[in-house]
A and B are shown apart, each in its own frame.
Chain A
Amino acid sequence: MMKQATASQIRVVTLKINDRDVTAREDETILQVARENGIRIPSLCYVEGLSVWGACRLCMVEFAGDHRLVAACSTRAAEGMEVLTHTDRLRRYRRMIVELLFAERNHVCAVCVSNGRCELQNLATECGVDHVRVPYRTAVYHVDASHDWFRVDHNRCVLCTRCVRVCDEIEGAHTWDLMGRGMNCQVITDLHKPWGESKSCTGCGKCVQLCPTGALVRHGTSAGEMERDADFLPYLSRMRHAE
């Protein structure tokens, strides 16, 4: 989690987002400032209350007069910044990122338990993904349904690591982690044991509530029935990180 300054050290900075003057605390990220001001920047791996991961690259923004792209979730606001969130280039890149996510694994929305409640599906709509222009990998991924209450379907995982972070930072169990690199990367439980055999998993279900797609779901759900509720997170996060 990005460390916040103590109250006595706070400085306020002014910057522009999409030509609009905004003020922010200097320890806030561009994404936080944008959200506070009602400016929507797409994101997938970022969740308020967890550490910043910066993996999905959907929240990339650019600065006026500067060709560099930065991730809004991991870049702090600074005095005089002129941030652009929806240039043609950014729209193009975001659409391609979402298309690549769809092509990498097997996201079959029509029969998915998260159909209609899926953040990836919503992003596809937001970014104008009406079709995927790269070939699907159609690689075989398995489903681990060994846990008493939950199952993980690696076909639907986008490697956002929300499950890894919430399990480690909020629940304190660190059941989830990553294995492998690149396209062979996947989330695992307890050094790659079946979830149902995990000794560290407390069965709290926080990972399931935070999963943005149909990868982590409750048993007993059918197509389109997976409802999630992440309201617990801001409160628990404050309690965990209270000094």
Chain B
Amino acid sequence: MSRTIAIEPVTRIEGHARITLELDDDGQVADARFHLTQFRGFEKFCEGRPYREMPALTARTCGICPVSHLMASAKACDELLSVRIPEVAMELRRLMNLAQLTQSHALSFFHLSSPDLLLGWDCPPAERNVFGVMFRHPQLAREGIRLRQIGQTIIEMLGGKKVHPTWVVPGGVSEPLTEEKRDRMLELVAEGLDIARRTYEFYKDDVVPKFKSEARHFGNFPTMFLSLVSRKGALEHYDGCLRIKDSSGRIVEDMVPTSEYAAIIGEAVEPFSYMKFPYYKPRGYPNGIYRVGPLARLNNCDTCGTPFADVALAEFRTLQASKPVASSFHYHYARLVEIIFALESMERLLNDPSILNTFVRARARSNCLEGVGIAEAPRGTLIHHYKINDDGLMTWMNLIIATGHNNLAMNRGIKQVAQKYVQSDKLQEGMLNRVEALIRCYDPCLSCASHAFGHMPLQIELRNAHGKLLDVVSRS
């Protein structure tokens, strides 16, 4: 008899979601689905508002990565203004985006995923959280929290607030950087880099070797990869052009201007989720499956461009014989490499005296009725596309959120990991946690800051083909 297992809600992710596993008559996983159960409607309620409100308004999509929305939105607005923003404004925005990358990656790795990696799949849920990590690995937990704090503090020093700063505005930024703040940031960045390098070495030497099975079965399948790269092909999070590599490492799209994203990315919808399913247009849906985020960025770039991150990138590329690295388990590895890159890049930006220039904002009114802004959020490529009327009021908006790009891959990954670890005759904590952990590899950000780890109940339901409840396992 075919049955369905539902995991709801999925814990230790940003937002609310549900996973259902459909079992066939033999008790084997036949299909898996990742459901986003919230509807928010930003694209609709922004209509009619002045475009200058968009950076602050769209940033409310998320409390974890508001800076990423600020970047993409401000870039779209820059296009509406049709101005070239001051060089220092671009560097300051880049600085904040890298601080955001650091804090968000630290949150994902240390707070949300390290309990799985350090405490084991079968550790009781009451202990398998960041407090459990504090108990068993106090130094690592302390440093992880500190690393996130460093990222958040730099965001606050630049924008006045840790969450939802309004410092990034169309045309640049609202305030220049002071020398005093620059010096303090350099101290923080140096401290953060020490932590990041130490954590990276520990992860590479002590953690990766223990998870060979997971690396083989956690979303390890061929897909394309999408990300921004700089005009020289280097790792890039703020500016640049789009690049797509296929599973064999061949570049299928390169130097695609961000304004032409719609020529290569389509969006499909499925009735079981509020999240759209973006796909690579030339290959159609669902064959145009691709992944974004740290894994995609490291697979796509030719080089990081900073000393230690380039060494780490070379080591990252030895993880799998295949090129690019295909296992979603290695998102964690890629995240640590990117933290190092972010801190090294911030150090470089801050050591350039021109970062203190005071002309930080270009002023203009709308000179164009359509604009696209693309930035790399911690979770992947984030697209804001706006249209306005003659008076500067929004008439249309399309947001493709980073997590959305990974939707097809997450669904396929869940199916793969469930087929390996879930058997229908018994429901055990460890195997279901692996299904959740697969999702955490992608670090999905499903809504605004509603990540309540350790407190949300997890319920797994076994249902037959007619929807009748056969068995329930729950934890609170």
Interface string of B196-236 (1 = CB under 8 A from A): 00000000000000000000000000000000000000000
B261 to chain A, nearest CB (A): 25
B390 to chain A, nearest CB (A): 8
Please, which residues of chain B bring their CB within 8 A of the CB of A225? 166, 169, 174
The CA-CA distance from A219 to B392 in the complex, in Å, is 9
Q: Does B136 contact A (CB under 8 A)?
A: no
A203 to chain B, nearest CB (A): 15
Q: Does A65 contact B (CB under 8 A)?
A: no
| Known contacts A219-B365, A220-B363; A145 and B392 CB within 8 A of each other | yes
The CA-CA distance from A111 to B164 in the complex, in Å, is 10
| Known contacts A146-B391, A222-B166, A224-B166; A110 and B56 CB within 8 A of each other | yes
| Known contacts A143-B393, A219-B365; A111 and B169 CB within 8 A of each other | no
Q: Nearest B residue to A194 by beta-carbon distance?
A: B391
Which of B20-28, B45-53, B122-130, B276-284 lies at the interface?
Answer: B45-53
Set A115, A145, A196, A224: member contacting B50, Cβ < 8 A:
A145
Interface string of A132-169 (1 = CB under 8 A from B): 00000000001111100001010000000000000000
Interface size range of chain A in the complex: 10 to 19
Please, which residues of chain A bring their CB within 8 A of the CB of B56? 110-111, 222-224
In contact, A111 and B50 (Cβ under 8 angstroms): no
A214 to chain B, nearest CB (A): 10
Q: Does A200 contact B (CB under 8 A)?
A: no
The CA-CA distance from A151 to B53 in the complex, in Å, is 13
Interface string of B168-180 (1 = CB under 8 A from A): 0110001000000
Query: DSSP majority for the B interface?
Result: loop
Query: DSSP majority for the A interface?
Result: loop
Q: Nearest B residue to A221 by beta-carbon distance?
A: B52
In contact, B50 and A223 (Cβ under 8 angstroms): no
Q: Does A118 contact B (CB under 8 A)?
A: no
Q: Does A113 contact B (CB under 8 A)?
A: yes
B166 to chain A, nearest CB (A): 4
In contact, A143 and B164 (Cβ under 8 angstroms): no
Q: Does B145 contact A (CB under 8 A)?
A: no
Please, which residues of chain B bring their CB within 8 A of the CB of A115? 166
Please, which residues of chain A bring their CB within 8 A of the CB of B60? 110-111
Interface string of B130-156 (1 = CB under 8 A from A): 000000000000000000000000000
Q: Nearest A residue to B160 by beta-carbon distance?
A: A224
Set A143, A219, A222: member contacting B169, Cβ < 8 A:
A222
Q: Does B9 contact A (CB under 8 A)?
A: no
Q: How many A-B residue pairs have CB under 8 A?
A: 49
B449 to chain A, nearest CB (A): 13
The CA-CA distance from A221 to B393 in the complex, in Å, is 14
Please, which residues of chain B bring their CB within 8 A of the CB of A221? 52
Please, which residues of chain A bring their CB within 8 A of the CB of B166? 115, 222-225
Q: Nearest A residue to B391 by beta-carbon distance?
A: A145
Q: Considering residues A111, A143, A144, which has the most beta carbons from chain B within 10 angstroms of its beta carbon?
A: A111
Set B52, B164, B392, B393: member contacting A222, Cβ < 8 A:
B52
The CA-CA distance from A220 to B49 in the complex, in Å, is 13
Please, which residues of chain B bring their CB within 8 A of the CB of A219? 365, 392
The CA-CA distance from A2 to B391 in the complex, in Å, is 40
Interface string of B386-407 (1 = CB under 8 A from A): 0000011100000000000000
Q: Does B157 contact A (CB under 8 A)?
A: no
The CA-CA distance from A151 to B388 in the complex, in Å, is 15
In contact, A143 and B50 (Cβ under 8 angstroms): yes
Q: Considering residues B52, B363, B365, B393, which has the most beta carbons from chain A within 10 angstroms of its beta carbon?
A: B52
Please, which residues of chain B bring their CB within 8 A of the CB of A146? 391
User: Closest 6 CB pairs between A and B?
Assistant: A223-B56, A145-B391, A223-B166, A111-B56, A222-B169, A111-B57
- Extra contacts besides A222-B56, A223-B53, A225-B169 (19): CB < 8 Å: A110-B60, A113-B52, A142-B48, A143-B48, A143-B50, A151-B391, A153-B50, A219-B392, A220-B52, A220-B363, A222-B52, A222-B55, A222-B169, A222-B170, A222-B174, A223-B56, A223-B57, A224-B56, A225-B174
Taking Cβ atoms with an 8 Å cutoff, the residues of B that contact A are 48-50, 52-53, 55-57, 60, 164, 166, 169-170, 174, 363, 365, 391-393
A-B contact pairs, 13 of them (CB 8 A): A110-B56, A111-B53, A111-B57, A145-B50, A151-B50, A222-B53, A222-B55, A222-B56, A222-B169, A222-B170, A223-B53, A223-B56, A223-B57
